[in-house]
Structure 1
Amino acid sequence: MLGQMATISGANSPSGSRFFTYEVTGLRQNETNDKNKYPVRKSGSVFIKVPYNRMNEEMRRITRMGGTIVNIHPINSDS
């Protein structure tokens, strides 16, 4: 119907509950990532937890901040 919008929750689909950990190196501290709740060191690795439905968006954000994704691991929902 007009004016009504169905909300689709990602948690209802099998992919909605999947999470991955990105290991990122080379991030620079700048105005974009100053908004993060954690400090960024250029020399160290940063581990970022990402839901499946935001993987592509997060990859672009990491690239804009000067980072390189060196590893991606799935996070098992069993553990």
Structure 2
Amino acid sequence: MVGQLTGGTTSNRYFRYEVVGLRQNEETDKTNYPIRSSGSVFITVAENRMNQEMQRITRLGGKIINIEPLSFEPKTDS
């Protein structure tokens, strides 16, 4: 999930969510020890998918601790 890109191609604006507390999946939640040792996961989301992704993160038990805008500007050779 690190660096995962979510969303459609209609939006030019993207945001990076820093998320803590995401569960791996239903099977790994049954273990008695933590699976992930690092605290943060970074998810890149298109502007038009922000609300849906926030809801998904909440359902998975995660907490968004930071949102920052990203700028994807095409490089031009000069």
The reply to whether TM is greater than 0.5 is: yes
Question: Alpha carbon RMSD of aligned pairs, Å?
Answer: 2.3
TM-score of the two chains, using structure 1 as the length reference: 0.64
Larger radius of gyration between Structure 1 and Structure 2: 1
| Larger strand share, 1 or 2 | 2
Percent identity between the aligned chains?
59
5+ long unaligned stretches in structure 2: 1-7, 27-34
Divergent runs of 4+, >3 A: none
Alignment of 1:1-79 (within 5 A): 11=10, 16-31=11-26, 41=36, 43-78=38-73
* Residue in 1 that maps onto 2:31: none
Q: Decide which moves more: 42-51 or 54-63.
A: 42-51
String of CA shifts for 1:39-60, please: whole Å, max 9, x gaps. x726510000000000000000
Per the alignment, residue 4 of structure 1 pairs with none
Which of the pair has the greater relative contact order for Cα pairs under 8 Å at 6+ separation? 2
With normalisation by structure 2, the TM-score equals 0.65
Question: C-alpha deviations, 1:20-57, integer Å up to 9, x for none?
Answer: 000000111124xxxxxxxx726510000000000000
What secondary structure does 2:39 align onto?
A: coil
Structure 1 unpaired stretches of 5+: 1-8, 32-39
* Matched residue count: 59
Q: Distance in 2 between matches of 1:64 and 1:10?
A: 25
